[in-house]
Amino acid sequence: MSLLQISEPGQTPDPHQRRIAVGIDLGTTHSLVAAMRSGVAQCLPDEQGRVLLPSVVRYLEQGGRRIGHEAQAAQAEDAENTIASAKRLMGRGIADIAGRDKLPYQFVDKPGMVMVRTRAGEKSPVEISAEILATLRQRAEDSFDADLYGAVITVPAYFDEAQRQATKDAAQLAGLNVLRLINEPTAAAIAYGLDNASEGIYAVYDLGGGTFDISILRLTQGVFEVIATGGDSALGGDDYDRALAEWILRRCDLRASSARDKAVIQTVARAIKEQLSAQDREAATVEIGQQRVQVEVSRAEFEAATDQLTARTMTAVRKALRDAKLAKDEVKGVVLVGGSTRMPQIRQAVAEFFGREPLINLNPDEVVALGAAIQAHQLAGNSTSGDLLLLDVIPLSLGIETMGGLVERIVPRNETIPTAKAQDFTTYQDGQTAMALHVVQGERDLVQDCRSLARFELRGIPPMVAGAARIQVTFTIDADGLLSVTAKEQTSGVEARIDVKPSYGLSDDEIARMLRESFSTAEEDVKARALAEARVDAQRMLLATQSALHTDGQLLSPEERAHIDALMASLRAIAENSTDAAAIEAATKALAQGTEGFAAARMNRSIQQALSGKNVEAL
């Protein structure tokens, strides 16, 4: 990747090379990939013309795997090895998974994130999700007959840090360059906003297969400002299926004990639910064990069996409006997103609450992927208009553990990201050189009620008397909503080293292992491809450095200039003569690192000029 391309916003660095960037909606029940084609965002179909890829991965008896429709078809016959709704498991421990006894999987309790035992071994939800992402990546590359430059991947707005990190890890495993994680409701708003050129306050009600989000946004001239977001990352259409499945079991006096039975009743419930969106009654045959029972469900019965779920979503809607300090009549439009919003009771509940009919003119299954594709196109530098800006927020407050298991809030929820907060700490013992910090996420006052994100250990504090050290710890949330922490002792200026022990997710070593074991490296032509990619990257880096030196070489001292020239000469020689992709990558990285200070100086100047220019204009 090049470090030095500084171009005017909105201009493509290289007009001859359009970068293929896609938007991916990694959903609980199904996933989609979309891209801009001839100026319009479109979902990309598979060879059979289907745009929805069921988010199901089946591990086969003879080795290998099936992803999507084929896997979904085998759900009942091979339930334990056919994993659906892996999104619900992302960044989650076994205790977090509601209703796990009703799922047909063999869960393995691991510190941080649960795993699923299959015939292909224990699989992390990250690996399972990576299979889905890799399938979509392949679909996109086939569609364009070109490599992907990068992808924007959507996550529920209410996903916490652990779930976001897991999603990013899955993308990395799938070989995707993640341009940005964006929130699903925001993506939906982009898809709607650009079509309608809307201004004002909008609410996005997003009920997917496994997650529920509500976001309140303000749209002004291409700026999408999220004012408040809320929801439940474990509530979705699946829960409606489950509630109906239980209702049917009760009504027919049946028991689903085996993995197969559980999958069967779930499938029947889902089919009935979908039919009830269009008609008032639906009948089906349930085959459980030796029994074969005919059941009929009316829409009213279905609605009664699930009204607690609908009510939970509306409670979150009210809370988000309170957070936004808005009355419901200030909302100019309500967008419905997610296949589950096809249920008439949802449309009715939303329409009643807001006193207006919701917007449904875009396909609720596709709208998130379409919005992500628009954003990906712009982030890749293809857009010439460049007038779209997302200002998103952190969905859950971030805090640290203090005395007595209490939480001290550092970053409040709904604050615009990126953001950074500094907090001072001191030592409580003479000569203390280390201290532990525990970072949690959530709105409750007790640590035990919040989600544990990470434990940090600050080391290398200079020994002083108790209370004399002033350790400033800075928590930074980047534009993807991910956290990083730095610490510095103020009186001595010593940087404290931070050992991060994530409470969740995967270490870099684990990712590296999965990468080695993964599909993407199993193929024969991987080496050739890696070499080609390394050469392209090297070339890009050289060109970018060259052009930066041409315009801003005067910022460098003669020594700095000589150092960069040497690095360039070395990279040029290696890229031409070597067939070792790793060696080329290393030389590219060396040049990137060697020019980092130069790049930073140029960036700083360019932003300064842009901001100061604005100041002058404003006068």
Partner 1 sequence: MNLNLQSTDFELFDLPLQFSQDREAIDARWKELQREAHPDRFAGQGQAAQRIAMQWSVRINEAYQRLKDPLKRAAYLCELRGAPVDAHSNTAMPADFLVEQMAWREALEEARNEQELDQLDGELHRARREALQRIEHLLDQRGDATAASQQVRALMFIERFGHDVQARFEQLGQ
Residues in touch with partner 1 (CB under 8 A): 1-6, 9, 19, 149-150, 179-180, 220, 223, 225, 315, 322, 378-381, 389-391, 415-420, 476, 478-479, 592, 595-596, 599-600, 603-604, 607-608, 610-612, 614-615, 618-619
Query: Residue 25 catalytic?
Result: yes
**Nearest to partner 1 of 149, 456 (CB atom):** 149
Catalytic residue among 46, 87, 161, 261: 87
Shortest distance, position 502 Cβ to partner 1, whole Å: 21
* Residue 499 structure tokens: 């050992």
Residue for token digits 């009355």?
Answer: 327
Shortest distance, position 492 Cβ to partner 1, whole Å: 22
* Residue 383 structure tokens: 């857009």
Shortest distance, position 587 Cβ to partner 1, whole Å: 16
Shortest distance, position 600 Cβ to partner 1, whole Å: 5
Of 394, 500, 386, which is closest to residue 439 (Cα–Cα)? 500
Query: Residue 14 catalytic?
Result: no
Query: Residue 184 catalytic?
Result: yes
Of 615, 593, 504, which is closest to residue 1 (Cα–Cα)? 593
**Nearest to partner 1 of 348, 608 (CB atom):** 608
71: amino acid identity, one letter: A
73: amino acid identity, one letter: A
Catalytic residue among 46, 131, 206, 365: 206
Query: Residue 101 catalytic?
Result: no
Q: How far is CA 246 from CA 40, 128, 436, 570, in A?
A: 43, 28, 46, 67
Shortest distance, position 222 Cβ to partner 1, whole Å: 9
Q: Where are the beta strands (DSSP E) in 430-583?
A: 435-441, 451-459, 471-477, 483-489, 495-502
Say which DSSP state 229 is in: E
C-alpha to C-alpha distance for 581 and 589, rounded to whole angstroms: 12
Of 48, 69, 47, which is closest to residue 57 (Cα–Cα)? 69
Of 284, 287, 289, which is closest to residue 271 (Cα–Cα)? 284
**Nearest to partner 1 of 161, 282 (CB atom):** 161
* Residue 524 structure tokens: 């024969």
**Nearest to partner 1 of 432, 474 (CB atom):** 474
Radius of gyration of the chain (CA): 26
609: amino acid identity, one letter: Q
**Nearest to partner 1 of 416, 546 (CB atom):** 416
118 burial class (0-12, 13-18, 19+ CB within 10 angstroms)? buried
Say which DSSP state 461 is in: P
Shortest distance, position 386 Cβ to partner 1, whole Å: 8
**Nearest to partner 1 of 121, 418 (CB atom):** 418
Which residues are annotated as catalytic? 25, 87, 184, 206
